[in-house]
Amino acid sequence: MMQHARAPVHATATPPHPSREQHQKAPNNRFIPVYDHADQEIGTTASRRTRRGDFLRAATWAITQRLHPKAGDTTLRVARDLAARLNADGHVAYCRDTMWRRLGISRRTLERHIAVLRELGLLVWAVHGSRTNTRPAGIGEWAGTATIYAAVVPRAWDDVLGHRVSGHGYHARHIGFTKHGRQLAIAEARRRTRPSHRRDAPSCNTNQPRPKAEMGGKKNNTSAPPRGRPRRGCRHKVPEPYRASPQQAAHAVSVAAWVRPRVPWTQGEALRRLAFALRPWIAAGLSAADIAADLSVWRIPRRPASPASVIMARWNKSAEQEEPNPVPGPCEETADAVPPNPAFLEAMATVHARLNTLYPPAEPEPDPPGFVIRDRILASLAKADLARRARTAEQCLTFAEWETVCATRERAPW
């Protein structure tokens, strides 16, 4: 893809003075196309800058008024394609090699209609394309400079619509309307806001059979029987293990923010969806470290499509497999259990004390906020990128890899 030139377009495009070849009207009040290429530049044009809407309206007006003998429907198609790609400054990249294929015309036809738009005063050159290579020498890559056009409207179009224009050339501004132009603008605004009075076709189900009223009873007034349509209930009903208060939902989000960067296969899921799936685990009393340890040992594909669905399915499966312990009935006799003797209890206390001495219980790690986790990830990525750039020729496996390292060092800023 071609690179855009870094030329200061607005700085060089100073308001020009009108030249002898830039008159938009002849003495007989007829439009004169701009055939000279020197008058089709952003700094020498007599047309003013515009945006998408006015550009399309001016192009439609110029083509329907037959201001150019070679303008037609294809010219309007080219103008619409350019208008769809205009940026906020009213500039658009030419992209000739893809534009003629997209429009289904030949390259020569596209060039001819682009020239027609320039001669109508609707396009001017902002940046001229060049085949000069903009990439550093020695890396084996080529990229030229793209042609950038600026959308403009001719002064003749402003005069027809009664626009009051301040200034001359590309930097001229539309500041108001004349008396005739105000009437045209009001009529155009009314036409746009007028509602469409269309009649809908009658429905085919208008003559539906109606229920008959019940005439039984002594009262004179009767009412139709109630319809059998059931009343719509609540659409979304959250299951019991996933219900949470606002405070519990916020805590679940913080837990999910701690778990997601530590479990690789959950990093493709949104934070709130992951927090919703982890609500039963949090309600069961598991900490963030316990949840991360449990999720890390699961045999899950590298990148599942929906990690939250996998977690919810695993929880539902484990909940179904758990069966309540059988409660002995009133007629059943419970087995006699022998209580432990004091020697056994003393030995167990000694073992627990020794284990606590060798392996003291770890304090729960506080949940860091999301921006701290993000800064840690960005720091680790920057450190890895710095280490990759600092490799030597012996550390590279192939010669192409070493060439890539050298090219990266050449493009890096001082």
CA gap 251, 247 in Å, rounded: 6
Ramachandran area for residue 9 (φ above 0: left; ψ -120 to 50: alpha; else beta): alpha
Residue 283: which of 315, 261, 314 has the closest Cα? 315
The contacts found for 298-304 with CB under 8 angstroms, 24 or more apart, are 300/265, 301/265, 302/264, 302/265, 303/265, 303/268, 304/265, 304/268
Which residues make beta-bridge pairs with 166? Answer: 173
Task: Determine the pLDDT at residue 390.
Answer: 82
Please answer whether residues 155 and 24 qualify as being in contact, where contact means their C-beta atoms are separated by less than 8 angstroms: yes
How does DSSP assign 372-414, residue by residue? HHHHHHHHHHHHHHHHHHT--TTT-SSHHHHHHHHHHHHHS--
Identity of the residue numbered 201: A
Residue 12's pLDDT is: 40
Instruction: Output the pLDDT for position 21.
Output: 44
pLDDT tens column, 316-369: 888 777 655 545 554 444 445 678 888 888 888 888 888 888 777 766 677 777
Is 46 in contact with 22 (CB distance < 8 Å)? Answer: yes
Q: In sequence order, which ranges of 13-95 are alpha helices (DSSP H)? A: 52-64, 73-84
pLDDT for position 8: 38
Distances (CA, A) of 353 to 166, 278, 290, 345, 363: 90, 35, 24, 12, 18
Beta strands of 84-224 (E only): which ranges? Answer: 91-93, 123-127, 148-153, 163-166, 173-177
Separation CA 151–CA 50 (nearest Å): 6
Distance CA(275)–CA(254), nearest Å, equals 8
Per-residue pLDDT at 315: 86
What dihedral angle (degrees, nearest 10) is formed by the CA atoms of 387, 393, 395, 401? 80
Q: Are the C-beta atoms of 188 and 198 separated by less than 8 Å?
A: no
Distance of CA 317 to the CA centre of its chain: 36
- The answer to pTM > 0.75 is no
Distance CA(279)–CA(251), nearest Å, equals 9
Q: What is the pLDDT of residue 399?
A: 78
| Rounded Cα–Cα distance for residues 81 and 250 (Å) | 48
In this predicted structure, what is the pLDDT of residue 226? Answer: 57
Q: CA end-to-end span of the chain, whole Å?
A: 26
User: Which of the residues in the chain have pLDDT under 70?
Assistant: 1-30, 134, 138, 142, 195-236, 322-337, 362-364, 412-414
